[in-house]
Amino acid sequence: MAICEGKTWKFGNASIASWASVVGKVESDGPYGDEFDEVVEDNKGGAETWEQAEAQLQNKSLKHALDKVNLTPENMDLIVAGDLLNQCTGSSYGLKDFYIPFLGVYGACSTFAESLLIAAALVNAGYVENCAAVTSSHFSSAERQFRFPLNYGGVRAPTAQWTATASGAAIVTSALEPPFIRSATVGKIQDMGINDLNNMGAAMAGAAYDTLTRHFKHMGTHPESYDLIVTGDLGQVGSDLLHDLFRRDGIALDKWHKDCGLMLYDRERQDVHAGGSGCGCSASMICGHFLSRIRSGDIRRILYAATGALMSPTMVQQGGNIPGICHAVEISYN
Amino acid sequence: MAICEGKTWKFGNASIASWASVVGKVESDGPYGDEFDEVVEDNKGGAETWEQAEAQLQNKSLKHALDKVNLTPENMDLIVAGDLLNQCTGSSYGLKDFYIPFLGVYGACSTFAESLLIAAALVNAGYVENCAAVTSSHFSSAERQFRFPLNYGGVRAPTAQWTATASGAAIVTSALEPPFIRSATVGKIQDMGINDLNNMGAAMAGAAYDTLTRHFKHMGTHPESYDLIVTGDLGQVGSDLLHDLFRRDGIALDKWHKDCGLMLYDRERQDVHAGGSGCGCSASMICGHFLSRIRSGDIRRILYAATGALMSPTMVQQGGNIPGICHAVEISYN
């Protein structure tokens, strides 16, 4: 049967004018700890609950991104945002006080790429001039929602990933200076038959393979066309699987591949098992590390492929699998 | 302080080529019961759980919409979809087997308008040719997620609304024949200070007022410029509040206003308290009732303003309010 191929969208007029990241203490202790805009040392960040603390992360990161380029909320046309919390409350509670038109999205850990590509498409088409893409995750709010109450003290499986306490915000506007958003491919939902809540990487690898393969095909590119292929948070298990899938096609993806889930923490020193995850994982690495290097030209072209496990405790309890998705966004110096 | 005004997007090249609706038994017993494409008599629709049954509603409504115009999944470029279930599993599980690129959105009961306006923007700008907007809700899955387990048998408050068991799907494509999508205004999150899980209408009325007011202003229109202003599911409480808000501006909105939450059921005969709600409520009324009348020209121009209560049981338990949002989409015969 013929399968829907989808399209890769091309943008001549979309750039990222400003960006910011806010992370928690564990993330600030990682290898890129000094590249984030703000560290919230206390797990609750002065809020009463973890969920409210997560909402504050988004509020802070958008404020930093606006301040850096002297934009105020009334200069903005739109926010595209989402997160892992049920009903995406990290976004709605964290961003409501800006009074900016708001499109809520849900892509699990792929949310930052989904937000960026929607923002780029709307800016490039001229519907909006200044559009923010924002997301967050929080270790404690995610653990209790998706796995166990923290005080249960459950032993974590070796394949489990560590949800990042982190947020990233980027302001997309018409093209002025790099980083430019040049193209994007929307992911398809892929069901790899995984139903283990502690093995998200495996659930997402097939989606990354599908989206990257379609993006390369539509753009006439190969992994070597980019400085780096940056996945969201496949972690070790998912990254290995992704390399295996490309190896079958004769492609040594591992030479060009970095995974934000494997970058954010020092796995030798920090007990994060298979790596980091959560919407904030790749959002903070993109906004904390990559975008400034693309602006300076040290990195010329990345394909940012954020992966998401569309994981529902309710569906898994009912015997369902965990579908994955991956959205790809090309970010470049020229 | 100046407040962000946002923009109203205008579309010269977006129409709805096909649409379909699937509803449950209670909805089929309502005043518009014979206008839907399929009725699922059994609450579980042959599935094992309510959540799986809800996913099937989306699967069925998209299939009907495709079949009506002889489209197959490989002809499609994109689905924009979301629902009320945690992690939007009604959409991800219901639509994954189509293998169509997928953007997940979360707008609570405003989801169908959000999906439609994103689809229209992307089609109008030429990124995609055929784009589906899909959503659903299910009384039983929503009650147990947001309120009480059904078998608890709690007494419903008079201000409570009845979550519709319903789904709607529309296929947006470049303009051929009516209904055309002519303009859209993205909503802002509004916090009216409501924290009663059983009073969603009040939480949403302010958002509807804000979005409608901005849409009229940007387009230079008034309520009388439209045959009808169709809100999503304010119900009786929210509709009365909305009329009050417009009355302060000297506008008798009630003359042009219909609310899908007050249309879907016969409140004299059906015990739904303040009216219907849920993403599927306005989606099924738009796809079941309105779009065919706009195609025929019996209705010439509506402003569809779907409202959503961004209601999170977790946040409400923590003392948080229920923010509301409303997205407006102009659908017309010419």
For the stretch A114-134, pLDDT in tens is 999 999 999 999 999 999 999
3-class secondary structure per residue, chain B: CCCCCCCEEECCCCEEEEEEEEEEHHHHCCCCHHHCCEEECCCCCCCCCHHHHHHHHHHHHHHHHHHHCCCCHHHCCEEEEEECCHHHHHHHHHHHHHCCCEEEECCHHHHHHHHHHHHHHHHHCCCCCCEEEEEEECHHHHHHHHCCCHHHCCCCCCCCCEECCEEEEEEEECCCCCCEEEEEECCCCECCCCCCCCCHHHHHHHHHHHHHHHHHHHHCCCHHHCCEEEECCCHHHHHHHHHHHHHHCCCCHHHCEEEHHHHCCCCCCCCCCCCEECHHHHHHHHHHHHHHHHHHCCCCEEEEEEEEECCCHHHHHCCCCCCEEEEEEEEECC
CA A46, CA A56: separation in Å to the nearest integer?
Answer: 9
Give per-residue pLDDT as tens, A265-302: 999 999 888 899 999 999 999 999 999 999 999 999 99
Cα nearest neighbour of A324 on chain B: B92
- Report the share of chain A in percent with pLDDT over 70: 100
Are B89 and A314 within 8 A, CB to CB? yes
Are A102 and B7 within 8 A, CB to CB? no
pLDDT at residue B233, rounded to an integer: 92
> pLDDT tier at A94 (50, 70, 90 boundaries)?
very high
State chain B's maximal CA–CA distance in angstroms: 55
Average pLDDT over residues A222-236: 96
Residue A202 near residue A30 (C-beta atoms within 8 A): no
Q: Does A149 touch chain B (CB under 8 A)?
A: no
> pLDDT tier at A190 (50, 70, 90 boundaries)?
very high
Cα nearest neighbour of B8 on chain A: A127
Residue B55 near residue B192 (C-beta atoms within 8 A): no
CA A91, CA A105: separation in Å to the nearest integer?
Answer: 9
Q: Is the model more confident about B15 or about A43? A: B15
pLDDT at residue A197, rounded to an integer: 77
pLDDT of B197 over the 80 cut = no
pLDDT of A161 over the 90 cut = no
Task: Report chain A's mean pLDDT, rounded to a whole number.
Answer: 94
Token pair listed for B95: 């639509």
Q: Does B292 touch chain A (CB under 8 A)?
A: no
> pLDDT tier at A264 (50, 70, 90 boundaries)?
very high
pLDDT of B221 over the 70 cut = yes
pTM to 2 decimal places: 0.97
Chain A residues touching B325 at Cβ < 8 A: 92, 102, 104
Question: Across the interface, which of A2, A51, A92 has its CB nearest the CB of B74?
Answer: A2
pLDDT at residue A144, rounded to an integer: 85
Please give, rounded to a whole number of angstroms, the shortest distance from the CA of A105 to a CA of chain B: 4
CA B14, CA B31: separation in Å to the nearest integer?
Answer: 30
Which whole-number Å values give the CA distances from B168 to A293, B109, B316, in the listed order?
Answer: 45, 12, 29
Helices (H), A86-129: 89-95, 111-124
- ipTM tops 0.90: yes
Chain A residues touching B143 at Cβ < 8 A: none
pLDDT at residue B153, rounded to an integer: 74
Q: Which amino acid is at A289?
A: H
Q: Is the model more confident about B150 or about A267? A: A267
> pLDDT tier at A1 (50, 70, 90 boundaries)?
low
Are A96 and B7 within 8 A, CB to CB? no
Task: Report chain B's mean pLDDT, rounded to a whole number.
Answer: 94
Please give, rounded to a whole number of angstroms, the shortest distance from the CA of B195 to a CA of chain A: 13
Residues 6+ apart with CB under 8 A from B242: B205, B208, B209, B231, B234, B253, B257
pLDDT at residue A202, rounded to an integer: 84
Average pLDDT over residues B212-219: 98
Cα nearest neighbour of A130 on chain B: B6
pLDDT of B162 over the 70 cut = yes
Please give, rounded to a whole number of angstroms, the shortest distance from the CA of B35 to a CA of chain A: 31
Are B100 and A4 within 8 A, CB to CB? yes
> pLDDT tier at B143 (50, 70, 90 boundaries)?
confident
Residues 6+ apart with CB under 8 A from B46: B53, B56
CA A58, CA A96: separation in Å to the nearest integer?
Answer: 11
pLDDT at residue B120, rounded to an integer: 98
> pLDDT tier at B1 (50, 70, 90 boundaries)?
low
CA B14, CA B314: separation in Å to the nearest integer?
Answer: 39
- DSSP-derived secondary structure letter, A286: I
Please give, rounded to a whole number of angstroms, the shortest distance from the CA of B265 to a CA of chain A: 26
Name which of A95-109, B62-76, B137-151 the model is least confident about. B137-151
pLDDT at residue A263, rounded to an integer: 97
Average pLDDT over residues B112-131: 98
> pLDDT tier at A151 (50, 70, 90 boundaries)?
confident
